[in-house]
Structure 1
Amino acid sequence: MDTFPTLFLSHGSPMLARQDSAAGRFLDGLAAHLPTPRAIVVASAHFSAAPTHVGAAALPRTIHDFGGFPPALYELQYPAPGLPALAHEIAKSIDTAGIPVRIAADHGLDHGVWVPLLRMYPNADIPVVPVSVDPRGDARAHVALGRALSSLRNDGVLVIGSGGFVHNLGDLDWRNPEAPLAPWASEFADWMRERLQANDIDALADWQSRAPHAKRAHPTVEHLMPLFVALGAAGDAPAMRHLHQSHELGTLALDAFAFG
């Protein structure tokens, strides 16, 4: 069976589901470069819960957890099945790692899950299991959570962290969607890329105190935590490949990475 990389994907605005953009075109072609998974596990910034929750719905609903967008966006559905047996296996692995965990029997697929998957796997025919991130955002804890998932990549399962590489909604430049990335955002992103390339886990784990402009790049931290899940899920083979780099609205960096 194929060994999968783990992925971190920046999902940006829900408009990514249909809007023509560099990030959307990248996602359109990404699946062609991967083996076909038997299931997909997604740690999403928009499934924020403590302790860790694992979605175990057999037919998870599509959650439109956003407001103010065109009506057509709310009509989109992503009817991928769930895989309750895998969800329970994942919960057992997380528990064995000493991490508190709960099964979320009826949890659906938030837009951090279904928006990128709609671009990657538009047929919605691969089972999807969502996993929460902790809104308190401890990077080391999320690396540990990822490590509890690391055996999945040898079992035909694609593990994805879906968040945002730089995610500051308060400073968005709505007047100019193609505005250059703000200098402070670029400095933060460059620091993160360098540390990822060097596999400097210690520095990354202390990103809030060591990365330039960390608080401005992530006023709340939930959009960066999926990166640490993906990094940890690569296990002992976390070699990084930088798959994509683009930005929108001046303060959204939409980088994507593969690990392992």
Structure 2
Amino acid sequence: MSTLPTLFVSHGAPTLAIADSPASRFLRQLGQTLARPKAILVASAHWESHGGPAVSMAMKPQTIHDFGGFPDALFAIQYPAPGAPGVAARAASLLSQQGLTVAQSATRGLDHGAWVPLHLMYPGADIPVAQISIVRGASPSDHERIGRALAPLSEEGVLIIGSGSLTHNLYEFRGQPIDAAAPAWVSDFGDWMKARLDANDLQALRDYRKRAPHAERNHPTDEHLLPLYVALGAAGDGANAERLHASYEYGILAMDVYAFT
């Protein structure tokens, strides 16, 4: 079985699931371009644990609508994919072997960081899915280490997805239209990230909050960028980064998608 790439997907606002935008159109065709995985493991910005990563063992994960104030059509969406408790158990074992403390949840469902992109990529909801958390207060390096521990799963037919957003400062939303132009403080950050990923400059990437332009303005908190480091680490040493998609929504959300091989 060939090794699958790992992905970082910017899921933007929950309305990505029902919007017609360059990012939603890209994700609708992305799943068709990849070898079909036997299961999917998603590290979502919307599940944070303390002290170490957590994995979901749910057999039938519920669709979690973890947002408010959006159209009824969004709340009507269900993503009834089967769970992947075997993959979650394998992930927990791999993480434990690297000295990480791992929690297991029997009931955790799929938050919108997982089901929104998967609803677009795999609308049939017929591929088993498990989630893994990010760790509150842990560094990019810590999340890269989590990803490295999970790397064998890619060789076993599991598609590892880090789901967050390349930029994520919702305090800057001022009612802009979805196709608003990105200001320089957003685009400069995205350009810096691409250059560092292209160069595999891990030291700069790990220290992005000090080195990248406008880092704290784009990420007042960094939970939406940490899934990128999980995906990067899961691709192994010397990973090659390829930006598959780049666009902006509402001017402030960079919707980049990266594949790591």
Judge same fold: TM > 0.5, yes or no. yes
- Provide the residue aligned with 1:188 in structure 2: 189
Distance 2:118 2:87 in 1: 19
Distance 1:9 1:184 in 2: 21
Whether contact under 8 Å (2:200, 2:238) holds in the other structure is no
- Provide the residue aligned with 1:88 in structure 2: 89
Distance 2:6 2:134 in 1: 16
Segment drifting more, 95-104 vs 171-180: 171-180
Per-residue CA shift, 1:158-182, capped at 9, x if unaligned?
A: 0000000011100024133321111
- Provide the residue aligned with 1:241 in structure 2: 242
Distance 2:6 2:124 in 1: 21
Distance 1:177 1:7 in 2: 24
* Aligned pairs for 1:126-137 within 5 A: 126-137=127-138
Q: Secondary structure at the match of 2:74?
A: helix
Q: Which amino acid aligns with 1:190?
A: D
TM-score, normalised to structure 2, is: 0.98
Distance 1:39 1:194 in 2: 31
Distance 2:72 2:152 in 1: 40
Distance 1:237 1:59 in 2: 36
How far does residue 135 in structure 1 lie from its aligned partner after superposition?
Answer: 2.3
Matched, 1:171 2:172: yes
Per-residue CA shift, 1:53-86, capped at 9, x if unaligned?
A: 0011000000000010011211110000112122
Whether contact under 8 Å (1:164, 1:253) holds in the other structure is yes
Whether contact under 8 Å (1:136, 1:221) holds in the other structure is no
Distance 1:93 1:125 in 2: 25
Distance 1:71 1:21 in 2: 19
- Provide the residue aligned with 2:49 in structure 1: 49
Q: Which amino acid aligns with 2:161?
A: I
- Provide the residue aligned with 1:214 in structure 2: 215
Distance 2:174 2:248 in 1: 12
* Aligned pairs for 1:190-205 within 5 A: 190-205=191-206
- Provide the residue aligned with 1:28 in structure 2: 28
Whether contact under 8 Å (2:45, 2:163) holds in the other structure is yes
Q: Secondary structure at the match of 1:35?
A: coil
Matched, 1:37 2:46: no
Whether contact under 8 Å (1:163, 1:223) holds in the other structure is yes
Q: Secondary structure at the match of 1:147?
A: helix
Q: Secondary structure at the match of 1:42?
A: strand
Q: Which amino acid aligns with 1:88?
A: A
- Provide the residue aligned with 1:18 in structure 2: 18
- Provide the residue aligned with 1:118 in structure 2: 119
Whether contact under 8 Å (2:235, 2:260) holds in the other structure is yes
Q: Secondary structure at the match of 1:81?
A: coil
How far does residue 237 in structure 1 lie from its aligned partner after superposition?
Answer: 4.5
Task: Give structure 2 stretches of 5+ with no counterpart.
Answer: none
How far does residue 136 in structure 1 lie from its aligned partner after superposition?
Answer: 1.5
Identity %: 52
Distance 2:195 2:10 in 1: 18
Q: Which amino acid aligns with 1:77?
A: Q
TM-score, normalised to structure 1, is: 0.98
Q: Secondary structure at the match of 2:170?
A: coil
Whether contact under 8 Å (1:63, 1:111) holds in the other structure is yes
Whether contact under 8 Å (1:208, 1:215) holds in the other structure is yes
Q: Which amino acid aligns with 1:110?
A: D
Task: Give structure 1 stretches of 5+ with no counterpart.
Answer: none
- Provide the residue aligned with 1:140 in structure 2: 141
- Runs of 4+ in structure 1 off by over 4 angstroms are none
Distance 2:174 2:157 in 1: 41
* Aligned pairs for 1:51-90 within 5 A: 51-90=52-91
- How much is the aligned-residue C-alpha RMSD, in angstroms? 0.9
CA gap of 1:115–1:166, structure 2 versus 1, over 3 A, is same
Aligned length: 260
